[in-house]
Structures are given as C-alpha cells and as structure tokens.
Structure 1
Amino acid sequence: MSAALESSYRELEQRVAGLTAELAASRSERLALADRLETLIDLLPGGLLVLDRDGIIREWNSTAESLLGGPLAGRRWRELADRLFRDGRADGTEVRLADGRWLAIARRPLEAEGGLILLINDVTETRALREALARRERLSAMGEMVAALAHQIRTPLSAALLYASQLGGGQLDGETRERFAGRLTERLRHLERLVDDMLAFARGGALRGEAFTLGALFEELQALLAESLESGALRLEIDCHDPACGLSGNVRLLAGALANMVVNSLEAGGGRARVDIVTSTLEEGGIRLRLGDDGPGVPEDLAERIFQPFFTGRADGTGLGLAIVQATVRAHGGDIRLESRPAGGALFIIDFPPPPLADALPSGAENLASEGAEHE
C-alpha cells in the first residue's frame, strides 16, 4: 500500500515539475514575443498611442513622443490635443499643428477594453509635394488654354471696339448711342467675367481651413442671390437636414460656386427658375448636397463635357463656370457629378467628406480629442 502511494506521489511530482517547466517556457516565450513586439512598435515610422477608456495615454512609441513632444505617460489626450492643435487647422483626416507641421491621425477602437489606438504620421512633405504637383498641373492646363483664351477674348473685344468706334463717330442719334453704349458695357463685362473666371480657375484650390456650418453657407448663398430672389425671377427652396452641420474651407468661395450653378439655372430657364437644394448625411459621415432645377436640363451627349474648361452651350458663356465649380468642390475635398433627372431639369450631386476633424476648427483637433474622451 505504502509503495503504491509513494509511486503515485512521485508520478504526481514529475507531472507538476513538467507543467512548471512548460509554464516557465511559455512565459519566457511570451516575454520574448512582447520584447520583439515592443521593439517593432518602437521602430515604426509612425507614432502610436494607446488610450484607455478614460482617454489617458497608457502606451506609446518613441516616434509618437518625438512628433508630439515631451513625455506622454499618463497624459489626457484631450488636453494634449488642445495644446498642440489650438492654432492649427484641419483638412480631411489631417491636422495642422501650430508650428506648421501636418499630421495624419487614424483611429482604431479597442472594443474589448473600451480604449482607442491612434496612429500618427507626419505628412508635411507629402502635402508639399501634392500641392507642388497640383500647381504644376494647373500651370500645364493654363498653357493648353492660352490659345482658347485668346479666341474667347478676341470675339467680345472686337465687338467692344466696334461699338466704341461707332460711339466716337458723332453721327448717332440719342437712342442708337444709348443702345451701342449698353452693348459696349455688356461686352466689357463679359471680358471682365472671363478674366475673373480664368484667374479663379488658375488659382485652383489651396484654401485656408475655416470652420463654417451649412446654415452659414446657405445664408451666404441667399445674400449673393438677393436681387434675383427679391425680383421673383428665382424661387430657391433649401431643405437642410442640419444647419449646424460643419464643413471646412472657404464659405464665400463655396457659396460663390453654388451661386454660379443657380445663375446657370436662371440663364437656362430664360431668366426664371426654381432651384431646390437638399442636404443629407452619407453613411460614412459625409454630407451630400443635391441641387436641381426645373429648366431644360443638359442634353445627354453634352453631359460628359460640361465640366471641361471652355466648353459652353451658350453663345455668351465663358465655358469656365462649371470648371470653376468643380475645382472649388474638389478644393473642399468633395466631388460633383451630373445625374439624369426623369422629371426634367438638371440635377447635380455634390458629396463632401466627413467633417474632417473640422467640426473642431479652429483647433482642428477637438474631434480627435473627444474620441479619446468618449469613454469618460
């Protein structure tokens, strides 16, 4: 009996020793894996922050410390973001720091723990290269347009010179002189519009990131169209899902682009038009703006060309209006397209990206900061 017990005890001892050895080996492997992972994270070219459910920084790598400056242990992301981005601005998922650097910040939730991972990359040089490339492309496009621009200017200029020469003859009666003076003024204004449109197109898209709301955008638009609205020539219906919804860019420039489209509707409708603007939220958080009118619409064979510079269906058009609208929308990170409308008229769809950290301007970072504080 005692021999059997002793044998069982020794067998149990051996099993315990084996399990202990296995646990020790497993722990050693986990520690080695953790060391390798820590080294790998530290060597990442981008910064990495791990926030707990209270928005406090618990883990980080050396790149994050270098990008954000100073020790990060135990700091609240909201407070850090407020300090770093107070004088900055936002553009899409990128934020400009007060010192001029641009950082791209991506977020990934830690669902099990209720925290958040932030991935941070310095994209200052990338943005500079993109802007230089965009400017080069605009200059190239300008070169291709010179011949077309010369033709566009020559026609109204020749007409203006003809009317001016007639006015200087001294043989016109008062009514004819007044008619010629009106036509001369009209041609000169056409030239002015052409030059203004060309300059707007050439400047393209670098915008200062300013925060504004849909409500402010539509107020600016109505102010630009006040004369047509008061005269009754224009009936403008705006159905805004959320006037407080934020955008980033230049509210006057964007309102001017929308006004350009409304004026197109007026001209296509013979001086009278009804224009409906409806906004909504896209699934990914962006904003959709639908602008439709009750005019004759755009012929199908012309639909693909309407955004091309110098393409126009009107004898007195510059052909730059919708090209400028498209450039302005793209400068705001958006996209514009023409869609068919079974009921008639033209329908333009403008999609803007999610209010880029931009509800948070001027700091450009409040949204990011709030991400880390959602769990407080």
Structure 2
Amino acid sequence: MAGKRKILLIDDDSVMHDLVRAFLTRVGYEFLSATSGEQGLEMARSEQPDLILLDYMMPDLDGVEVYRRLREEPGYEALREVPVIMLTAREEDGHLRSRMLEKGVFAYLSKPFGLHELRNVIENAFIASEINRRNRQLQDEIRRARDYLQRVIDAAPVGVFATDTEGKIVLANDFMARLFQVDSPQKLIGRNTLTVGLGGAPDPLAAVRMVLHEGEQYATEHLRFHSPDGRLLYLNVRVVPLREQDGQLRGAIGIVEDITEAEKRAVEMTMLTEIAQAMQGTIDIEEMLHLILTCATAGEALGFSRAMIFLLSEDGKELRGTMGVGPSSPQEAVAIWSSLSHEKMSLPEFLEKYGRRKPDPRSRFNNMVKELRHPLENSNCVLARAVREKRTFVVEHGRLKSGEPAECDWFTSVFGTDQFVCVPLVAGGRTIGLLVADNLYTGHPIDESLVQLLTLMANQAGLAIERARAHADLAAQTRRLERTIEKLWEMQERLVEAEKLATVGQLAAQVAHEIRNPLVTIGGFARSMLDAPKSEEELKVIAGVIAEEAKRLENILNNVLDFTRLSRPNPEPSDLNDMVQKALFLVQDELEKNKIRLEKKLAYDLPEVYVDQQQMRQVLLNLLYNSIDSMKGGGTLRVETGRRDDEHVFVKIQDTGPGMDKEVLQNMFNPFFTTKSDGTGLGMPIAKQIVHSHGGRLIVDSKLGEGTTFTIVVPIKGEIVKTAEEKQALEGA
C-alpha cells in the first residue's frame, strides 16, 4: 500500500520471517524478506527499504559483512542513512555490541526478543532517523546561508575580519587574503593579531589591541602600509567591539578600506607641487641637483634607496657623473634611516632641512658617481638609449621590460645593482642629462606608478637645472653664491661635530653593554670571597678568573673602539672544548639563577684550532648571554662541538627561548640594531666580525616559538698563517 514504510528482514531463519512478517504487516509496515546476505543486499538496492533488520549469523555473508557493504561499497549510497537493527542469537557479547554500535548500527537485539520490544526499537529508529534527516537539512541550510554570507563578504570591495577575545582571527574575506598576500582567507584564520604581525608594516590590525583592551571602537585613516611584497598602500581601518546580548565582549570586527589610488593621486599632486615650489626657491646649480636627488630619495617623497644625476658634456658626446645621494652600504643605510625615523616633518620642511645644501664631500657614493664618464657614441647601453630616444627605461635583472638586454654591465659592476630606472632630463626640447634611481637596500619593487611619478618630477627637474645653469652664468650672482657656499661649509662643520658626538655616545653605550658581562662575573666571584671563607686553592682559582676577566675587559674596550677596523687576531693553537668549558663556567651562576638546564655534547677528538682565544671567548660569552637572556623563565641550553668536515670545526649553542621573527633575523647583524631596551646593537656585529676575521662563519637559525641556534664554524688550520719564527718558538716551548 502506498505510503507504508518498508522494512527489510535479512535472516536465514524462516520461522523468524513468518513471525516478524505477521507482526509488522499487522501494525502497518510493508514487509520485505531476504534469507541470505547476498539476497538481502540485492533487495536493499532494488527496493530501497526504510529500515533493515539484519541477522548477525548467516551462512554465506554474516551481518557484519553485509553492514560493511551497505555503508562502504559503491551502489549503496542511497542506503547510507537507512537505520539498521542487528539481530543475534549469540549469547550476550558486550564487546560485539559496543563494536557494532560504534560502527553506526542503531540497535542491537538479542534473540529471542519480544515483538513489542521490536516495535518500540523500530519506532525509535524512525524517530531518530527523522531527527537526523531534519538536522542534516538544517545543517545544509546553515551551510548554504554561511556560504552565501561568505560570498557576500568575499565580494565586498573592502576587507572584513573578526577576532575572538584573544585576538585570534575567526573570519576574513578574500580582500584580507590579498592584502596580506596569502593563498586564501583560511590561511589567516587562527592567527593572533595581538602577538604576531600578519606581514607588512606598520600592522594595520594593531587597532584590534586597542579595541579589545579598551572595549571602544577605534579608527585609523590614511595609514601608510607597506605590504609584504613592498608595495605602499594607504588604508582606512575601523574596528569595533563585538558583544553578546548581555554586553559581554566577544571579540572585535573590523573593516579595512584600500584608498591607495585616491590617496596616491592626491598625495602625488601635492608632492609634485611642493617639489616644484622647492625647486623654484633655489638657483645654485649644486643645491638644485642635491634638492632633486633628495626629492627622489626622501621617504616623504619618492623613497628610492639611491639616486644619481648624469649630465651631458658640452659636446654632447659623454655622460658625466655629477652627483649622487644615498648610502654606500647596508650599514650606512640603516644608520641614516634610523636617524631620520626620529624626525617627524613635512616634505617642505624635510627638503628645506636636507635638500637645500651641497652633498658631503666625504660621501663615498657621491664621489663614486662623480668619477664616472660614459661615452655615448656607438653605445647601446640603456643609459645612452634614454638620452638619444628621450625615453624612460626600467631595468630588471639586467633586462628591459621588452626582454631586451640592457647592456649596462659597466653600471652594474660599479653600483652593484641590475634593477634601476633611468629618466631623461629634458629642457627646451633637448636632453641635458639623466636621473637614475634604484632600491638596492630596501628591495622594494620599482612599480609603474613610481616610475610615472619620477618621470613627472624629472620633467620639472630638467627645467629647474637649466634655469639654475642660466643663473649660475650671471656675474651678479657670484657674490651671493660665495656667501651661500661659506654658510653651507659652516653648517657642514657643525653637522660633522654633531656626528662625532653621536658616534662617541654610541661607542660609550657599547662599552657599557660589553663590559657588563665580565663585571657581573668579577662581582659575583668577589662577593663569593666576602660571603664565605675560602681555601687558599679556591682563592687562587677565583683570583685567576678575576684576572682573566679583567684582561678581557681591556680587550673588549679595544674591540669596541676598533669596531669599524677590528684589530688583527692574535691566533694561537687552542683547545676549542677548553674554551667552551671556560665560557660555560663563567655563566654558571646565570644558568642557575634563571633555572636553565645545561646539556653538553662535546666531541673530545677535536684537533686544535688556530684562533685568538680572547676574541673567541668574547664571541662565546656574547652568544651564551644572548641565549640566557631569551630564557628568563627557564629552559634548556644545549652546547655542542664537533667536526663540520675535514677542514672545519663548529660550536653550536641552542636555546629554547621564544625565537626571532624574520625582521629580527634579517637585521640582527646590522650595527646598532637591537631588540633590547638597554642594548646598543653592536654585540652581534662584533661577534660576526671576529668569526669572519678568523676565516669562519656565524650561522643563526631561529623559529618563533621553538628557539634559536647559533653555530660558529672556524677552519682548523686558520686563515692567518704564522711565520716560521713563530712556529719554531711554539715548537721550542
């Protein structure tokens, strides 16, 4: 009869079939009968029953195998959710019952069972099945609604994100994934905005901290954000608290709007106007060139790492390096940017302070540019083409965007870069020179918008240079130029004195940092002599240690003073393990005080190495104290020595501290870079210089949350060879 629920019994007992058929048909069910497992599977496939009664023991296929096929094999997909009740005449087997119920059997009935009991179980199975069906339906609807909401959020022209109360991201859309350059929004889920930046700088989600801490909405407008790939973006960020109905804080939800294009257009127009006004304010040719180059390199303007100007000779046959602005090394770049980062000023103020002056005659980069001469005749170099064709060219990895070779190997060899932009300086329809810029030290890409902006500025610069040249030819301006030059020289001398004072201060801070460790050791041993009586032998040992540390203090002072020209090592045959043991002895008190467990694995078959023991001890102690500082709450310090290969030995110092992020790793060896409030940032550069001066390498490997490993690798024979007389003296000793 239509509408009746079908129940299939799979059992090899004919009496059971008769009994169950009579009962189930009487209570309103349609009964289907199969006397073997194979027959039952075929009937289940063809009849599509609403419930299956399955006997456990059958001669061909037992109930377990039939159930497995129903649930797993292809062809039975429509029966996956059909409830199955297992019937068995076996004695009560709790393990079997538990196993089958875990596999998904709805109920387990032992024969003989009451028919009313069977009916109750069947009705409960249908009720449970209906509940499960409705739950699945609701879950499907919820999933569709969630998917629809996610599509709406992903299609939004702004970034949308949400966090929990701990700052972990629980929702993000495609815009956010593109902003932080991850494959999908799922890659952002779970990241903690309070403890780990998501990439780029400054962190646009820093507002989450304020919202979760204060419980009030927070907004940031016109945020200058460098994306992970170096692009400069302008963002509006708004974050509000997310609360439950009872007012309890549940997290934060925010919107990130990219206003880069609109902001760029407004900023660029303002910047070009300010640059043009600045150029109109000077007539001295050198001031003008320096001002143009400052505009190209200033962070408030175009922000290139370096910029240079080449002017044509009077006969137009040669490009002559005229002026360059920018650092000559990564260390100088870090020092300059660090100094400028403390000065907050507008572009006109910046140009007024740093642009309207002549370059420092001691500038290595400027002097390097001024020495260059490049003939234009018969030259296919991109610089020559830019002059002849009056076109801007961008060079990437030695090639133009068209794929043609730039043919500028001479330029690359001099300046160490094969990625730059060259823009012709044009005045009155003729080319008077070139403006060349690169991003060697920032690594930022030279994108099209930046090239367009540089080209617009170069158009103004060409006219300004020509105007300055005309004024320079006027005799009436001679005296004014001379007075200006004198004043500029006076200002330069003041700046030199200020730089000297700053350098003295930096070196003094470094001395304080470096002598702290040996002073702690000396103080510790001195106090131990006062705190408790010591035997003569103990006093000798302590006095020896104090004497060694005092001597090390003298060497440290010399090393700091000679930082830029580290003194030549005084190598001697040395036992690497002995140096490690002595260094560990000096930090033993710090290890115990900080509850740090020491694990040593020293290879005692190491050959002697040829090193300066005082300098190498300084390196070891610097690395050991760095590791100890990273484990103030306790941890494990592992120290290992061994042979790296036939020609090198190593010392490995591993801690279980918090580890370092990518930015710290990239900058840790840069002078004056430090993450410590009381640090000067010279410890690691000095350590690296010492190891390098021995012909070795200082390798660092660090992962956030796992710790840091420093590995010192030095050659066994050493890079500095002793003279024959020194060797004879050693042998005689």
Q: Does TM, normalized by the shorter one, top 0.5?
A: no
Larger Rg: 2
For CA contacts below 8 A with separation 6 or more, give which structure has more relative contact order. 1
Give the TM-score band, short-chain normalised: 0.3 to 0.5
TM-score, normalised to structure 2's length? 0.23
TM-score, normalised to structure 1's length? 0.42
